[in-house]
Amino acid sequence: MTAANGFVAWMLLIGIATPAAMTIYIGGAKFTLGRIVICLLLLPALFELSRKGRHLVASDLFACLASAWIVAATFDTDPGSWSSGFAVVIEFLGGYIVARAFFFGRPALQAFVGALKFVAVIVIALATVEHLTQHIVTYNVVAALWGLPSFTPEYRYGLLRAFSTFPHPILYGTFCVVAGAIFLYSERSVLGRVLYTGGCFFGCVLAMSSAPLISFMIVVSVYSYDRIMHRYSWRWHVLVISLGTLLAAVFVLANKPISWLVSHLTLDPSTGYFRVATWDSAFYYIGLSPYVGFGFEAYGIIGDFFGNASVDTVWLALALRFGVPTIVFLFFANVATFYRSGSTAGSRQADPYMSKMRTAFTLVIVVFMFIGLTVHYWNNIWIFWGICVGIRGSLQEEYLGTAKSRASENRRSGWSARARHLTMGNPQATGHPMQGFDRYLR
């Protein structure tokens, strides 16, 4: 089974790293390599999930609800764009299901990380070539072969912003942050962590994008905090409460808290101001159609610049297209993969590697949600988000299953101990069932 997991990992990650400009049409529908891979693996994935021993988790429900709402909202508001709505669902939910099915357990997870190492090295190497040549090499070569217009280079502080194989520098930077977070926890040696995580940071710098750079700093800070406080089980509660208090202070003290956060999370103030205006405009139009959105058609009135400009946040873009319920379901699909209730602490020390990977992919999910405040995800990085949510869901399934098994073992051990105690306290209990009652008949 490990060989099959490795094959799936290579197929998915190659599909993600392949430029989305490489498309083919099948029956009038447009397919990127990533979509083709997901469609080929979807039925085997559903079969794998239905096997004995696998269990549903809460994130499965919310991921399906988000996808169902996208389809329903598209047919309600923009039925002519049904194929685009289905494409969005196939990419995210399909990636989620395939990851849930095939990356369950330590061997499968290690196969995924091994493939990710190779793909990350190639992607970062291509970005380095762009800086050396001062040209967007990979994506523009593919665009030329497919007869598409080439991308104009983007510069920030006089430095070229790398695209690598992704359609935008911030998407490439997001990939580097996610890979770096995984390598921080997956690598056993200090040298491995320095090489792979340092390489991802270098790749992130090449993107010259604010949100990925800030996210990388957050990832390293959380990792350092985790290493220092690893002996204390309450460390995550303290961290969450501290961050919650900080956010609450911003919302209380700032006149426009969302605008304050967005404007202070950018390297270039002009992009910060643009995003602030985008949020203000999007809130207005979302209020006009909060439940089903506007589909893929233009929603802004003529002459409204921000109403017709691109929306640089995945949360607002999804709400505008498919309605607020979509982002609510998507939010809970992400959070449900790492939220725990009840007493499940018994499995924390079962496998240190799996414990580390749970932390790593929790960080990955938070990074996707955070960077999504400043950019819209599409094509390969949208698929990658679905895959990472699916992997975290499988980690949650494994964790809860282990905790349940340990709880059952503890109950059985407790019953055995009580039985031994009663037997030792009453020697007659070891004899014939009527032996204890016989003395009352004498």
pLDDT tens string, the chain, 442 residues long: the values are 577 889 999 999 999 999 988 988 887 778 999 999 999 999 999 999 999 889 999 999 999 999 999 999 999 998 888 889 999 999 999 999 999 999 999 999 999 999 999 999 999 999 999 989 888 888 888 888 888 888 888 888 888 899 999 989 999 999 999 999 999 999 999 999 999 999 999 999 999 988 899 999 999 999 999 999 988 889 999 998 998 898 888 888 877 776 677 666 666 666 667 777 888 888 999 999 999 999 987 777 777 767 777 788 899 999 999 999 999 999 999 999 998 754 444 445 578 999 999 999 999 999 999 999 888 999 999 999 999 999 999 999 999 887 666 655 556 666 555 655 555 555 444 444 434 434 333 3
What was the pLDDT predicted at 430? 45
What residues have CB less than 8 Å from 363, skipping those under 6 apart?
181, 219, 222, 223
What was the pLDDT predicted at 434? 38
Closest to 197 in 3D by CA, of 157, 205, 341: 205
What was the pLDDT predicted at 432? 44
What was the pLDDT predicted at 312? 83
Give CA 303 to chain center in angstroms: 37
Q: Which two tokens stand for residue 383?
A: 């698929």
CB 328 within 8 A of CB 335: no
pTM of the model: 0.88
Q: Which amino acid is at 43?
A: L
Phi, psi of 148 (to 5 degrees): -105, 155
If you write DSSP's letter for every residue of 109-178 in order, what string do you get?
A: HHHHHHHHHHHHHHHHHHHHHHHHHTS-HHHHHHHHHTT-PPPPP-EETTEEPP-TTSSSHHHHHHHHHH
If you write DSSP's letter for every residue of 38-83 in order, what string do you get?
A: HHHHHHHHHHHHTSTT----HHHHHHHHHHHHHHHHHHHH-GGGHH
CB 70 within 8 A of CB 96: no
Burial of residue 277, with CB atoms counted within 10 A of its CB: 0-12 exposed, 13-18 middle, 19 or more buried = middle
Q: What whole-number distance in Å separates Cα of residue 186 and Cα of residue 370?
A: 22
Q: Which two tokens stand for residue 201?
A: 């940071």
Burial pattern 375-384, b for ≥16 Cβ within 10 A else e, equals bbbbbbbbbb
Crossing angle for the helix pair 210-228 and 352-371, nearest 10 degrees? 150
